[in-house]
Amino acid sequence: MSKGMVIVGIIILGVLTLGVVNIIQNYQSGSELDYYLLEETTEAAMIDAVDLGYYRISGGILRVDREKFLESFVRRFAESVNRDRNYKVRILDFNETPPKVSIQVGSSTVATFAGDDFDIVHKIDAILETKYYEDRLLGEVE
């Protein structure tokens, strides 16, 4: 009977170890995927939100429309996220001209330890710029 209990104990210990390894792997790989998702989504949303009319009129000065950026970012981010994680998105800073945005995304899995959630937070500062070789006048743009 003692050998049977040792085997059951080893099996239970193995299952618990696999569970802990799975949770740790989920946090690590999810964190990396969240960072790259945040980076790519921010870049694509900023390019989508460039106000081309203002760019043509101003002679090459970029401007990003706030509402277009937020709509594009939220839509793209929601389409690509992992469904078993909880996300908290915060826009920390937004400038239309020159285009700059600071975004913070916190994510946590459904697993908690002693009632505490472990949030992994990523923050990115993105600046959209063009290469200015010469000043262009409004008459040259039209």
Q: pTM for this structure?
A: 0.69
Task: Say how far apart CA 27 and CA 13 lie, in whole Å.
Answer: 21
Query: What are the C-alpha distances in Å from 64 to residues 45, 51, 85, 91, 98?
Result: 10, 6, 30, 15, 8
**Would you give per-residue pLDDT tens digits along the chain (142 residues)?**
688 888 989 999 999 998 888 777 766 666 778 888 899 999 999 989 988 888 888 777 788 999 999 999 999 998 988 777 788 899 999 998 888 999 999 887 656 566 666 677 889 999 987 665 555 554 554 4
SS3 assignment, position 77: helix
Number of independent structural domains in the chain: 1
Give residue 127's domain range.
2-141
Query: What are 34's two structure tokens?
Result: 């969240």
